């Protein structure tokens, strides 16, 4: 079920660019991927969240099966859901996100998200992180995620200390 594309990570080479960049919309077949960004991380913070929106203009369901990052950025990527359970926000890895035909997948703080696991260097606002998304039908798609400062993200309910606190060993 789960696949990692290590060769892609190596091939991507220099992953973190320090020049300010804006995430570009990416169109692949009937998919449109937009508003991609990653949350800045503090020094020593092992994991971080990243978010995209995927519009499916096709006639069949699409599935996002995995996300990976260059080895210079992190150990790996995971797909996570976040839910309230017994009064706590719990993050869990899931094998896929579905995007219904004509529908949209919206990843956002406090909800479903991409998890960057085992971050090598802190993610600095304004830099860019490359992510490789693996879709069931569309295949492999590379997107640039702009790193946003915490203050730029207005959503509430996203517990960053929780993100920071759950280390790679728990996965």
From the list 114, 115, 129, 145, which residue makes contact with Cu ion (rule: CB under 5 A)? 115
Closest CA to 156 of 113, 98, 108: 108
Cα–Cα distance, 113 to 38 (Å, whole number): 10
* 3-state class percentages of the chain: helix first, strand second, coil last, to nearest 5: 10, 45, 45
For the CB of residue 47, give the shortest distance to Cu ion in the complex, in Å: 7
Cα–Cα distance, 112 to 9 (Å, whole number): 23
- Of the pair 30, 160, the CB lying nearest Cu ion is at 160
**Consecutive H or E run containing 164:** helix 160-165
For the CB of residue 87, give the shortest distance to Cu ion in the complex, in Å: 18
For the CB of residue 14, give the shortest distance to Cu ion in the complex, in Å: 26
Region near Cu ion per CB under 5 A, out of 23-31, 57-65, 74-82, 151-159: 74-82
Name 115's bridge partners: 49, 78
Footprint of Cu ion on residues 78-107 (CB under 5 A)?
Answer: 80, 91
For the CB of residue 127, give the shortest distance to Cu ion in the complex, in Å: 20
Q: Residue 152 is encoded by which pair of tokens?
A: 């730029």
- Of the pair 21, 65, the CB lying nearest Cu ion is at 65
- Of the pair 80, 130, the CB lying nearest Cu ion is at 80
Which parts of this chain interact with Cu ion (CB under 5 A)? 80, 91, 115
């Amino acid at each position: 079920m789960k696949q990692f594309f290590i060769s892609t990570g190596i091939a991507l080479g220099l992953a973190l660019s320090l020049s300010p960049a804006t995430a570009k919309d990416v169109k692949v077949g009937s998919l449109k991927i937009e508003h991609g960004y990653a949350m800045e991380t503090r020094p020593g913070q092992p994991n971080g969240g990243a978010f995209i929106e995927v519009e499916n203009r096709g006639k069949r369901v699409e599935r996002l099966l995995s996300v990976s990052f260059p080895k210079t950025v992190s150990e790996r990527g995971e797909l996570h859901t976040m839910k309230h359970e017994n009064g706590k926000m719990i993050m869990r890895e899931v094998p896929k996100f579905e995007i219904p035909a004509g529908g949209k997948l919206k990843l956002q703080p406090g909800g479903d998200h991409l998890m960057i696991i085992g971050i090598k260097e802190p993610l600095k606002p304004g830099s860019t992180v490359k992510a490789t998304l693996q879709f069931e039908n569309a295949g492999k798609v590379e997107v640039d995620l702009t790193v946003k400062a915490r203050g730029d993200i207005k959503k509430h309910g996203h517990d960053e200390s929780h993100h920071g606190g759950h280390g790679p060993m728990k996965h």
